[in-house]
Amino acid sequence: MASEVVGALDGSPFDEYDRQSWASLSSPRPLSLNDEDLERIRSTGDPLDSTEVTEIYQPLAELLGLYVDTTRELHRQTREYLGTNGHLTPFVIGVAGSVAVGKSTTSRLVRELLSLRDSTPSVQLVTTDGFLWPTAELERRGILNRKGFPESYDRRGLLRFVTQVKSGVSPVNAPAYSHLFYDRVEGEYQEVTSPDVLIVEGLNVLQPPATHSALAVSDLFDFSIYVDAKPEHIARWYEERFLTLQRGAFADPRSYFHRYAELSEEDARAEARRIWTEINEPNLRENIAPTKPRASLILQKAADHRVDRVLLRKV
C-alpha cells in the first residue's frame, strides 16, 4: 500500500505524515527484535513496544538505509568522475531533542535496526555527554547549574571528534561519561573504528556554528533527527522518570543524586519540577527547540510518548 503525504504548510520544507501513512511505508516482515532487545534498548519511562518499532522505526530505518546506499553510490560516481581513489567515510546521523523526550531510545533503536542490514553491519553510537566539561571545570566557570546548555560542552572537542570520523581517521576516541557519577570518567574513552554509520546523540547537536567558528557539528551530519513533543508532556515525562530513578539508581550510595533517595514522593515531585523549570525547560526553549527546523526528519510524539506524526524534509 502506498503512503500519502497528509499535509504541509505552504512554503514548508517538510512533508508531513500521520502515523498510519508513515506505518504503511514499512515492508511487511517479522519484527527482528524480541522483548529482551526492547527492554535493553528503551530508556527509563519510555513505553517502547513492538508496535512502535514496526510502525515508526522500521520505516525510519529503511529510509535511512536508502540514504546510506544513495550516498555511497554518489561517492562512487564522484570518485569515478574525478579519477580519484578516496575511501568511503562513515555516514553520520545526528539525533537531537530535549531531556526525557526519548532521543536515547531512538538512537539505540536506530543503531540496532541499521546494524541488521547486510550493507551496514557496523553502526556505532556516541552521546555528547562525554564532551560535557568535567564537573570541576563547570564549577570553576560557575555554570554547573547550566549543565546541558551549549556553553557546558567542549564544543571544539566535539567538532574535532566528528571531523576526524568524517575524514576517515580511525580509531578516534570519545570521552567516556558516567551517569552514576554525573561526570566524565578520567582516562576512559569510547573507541570509534571506521563504522559504516555513526550516530551522534545529544541535546544540542543541531546547534548552528558558534560565533568563533565557521563550522558546526551539524554541518558534518548526512542526516539528522529531532525528537519532538509538547513541553508540558516532556515535563510530565521528566517528573515520572525522576521518581523512577529515585527509587532505583539514586539509591546507590555512589550516585551523584543519592541525596534525593530519601525524599518523600511529594518532595521528589517538587524537586523534579524545580529542576525542570529552572534548567531543562529554559534550555529547551532557548537552545534546543530553535534547532528543530534544521533537522532532516522530525518525530512528533503525543501525550502517551508515542510518535503520531513524522515530518520529512523534502528532497
Least confident window among 106-120, 151-165, 210-224: 210-224
Q: With a cut of 60, say whether residue 293 has pLDDT above it.
A: yes
- The pLDDT of residue 70 is 96
pLDDT score for 221: 98
Among 9-18, 250-259, 285-294, top mean pLDDT goes to 285-294
pLDDT of 42:
86
Whether residue 3 is contained in a domain is answered as no
Q: What is the CATH number of the domain that holds 62?
A: 3.40.50.300
Which of the four pLDDT bands, split at 50, 70 and 90, describes residue 2? very low
The pLDDT, as a whole number, for residue 34 is: 86
pLDDT tier at 85 (50, 70, 90 boundaries)?
confident
The count of structural domains within the chain is 1
Q: Is position 2 within any domain?
A: no
Give a yes or no: residue 215 inside a domain.
yes
Q: Quick check: is 1 in a domain?
A: no
**Which residues constitute the domain of residue 249?**
14-313
Residue 315: pLDDT band with limits 50, 70, 90:
confident
pLDDT band for position 3 (cuts 50, 70, 90): very low
Residue 8 belongs to a domain = no
> What's the mean per-residue pLDDT of the chain?
93
pLDDT at 6: 53
Q: Is pLDDT of 11 > 80?
A: no
Lowest mean pLDDT among 19-23, 44-48, 61-65, 128-132: 44-48
Q: How high is the pLDDT of residue 5?
A: 54
Is 6 a domain residue? no
Instruction: Give percent of the chain above pLDDT 90.
Output: 84
Is 301 part of a structural domain of the chain? yes
Q: Edge-to-edge, what's the strand order for the sheet holding 91-97?
A: 14-18, 307-313, 297-301, 223-228, 91-97, 197-201, 123-127
Q: Write the pLDDT tens digit of every residue in 40-65.
A: 998 877 889 999 999 999 999 999 99
pTM for this prediction = 0.94
pLDDT digits (tens, 9 = 90+) for 233-273: 999 999 999 999 998 889 999 999 999 999 999 999 999 99
Domain annotation covers residue 195: yes
Q: How confident is the model at residue 10 (pLDDT cuts 50, 70, 90)?
A: low
Would you state the pLDDT for residue 196? Answer: 96
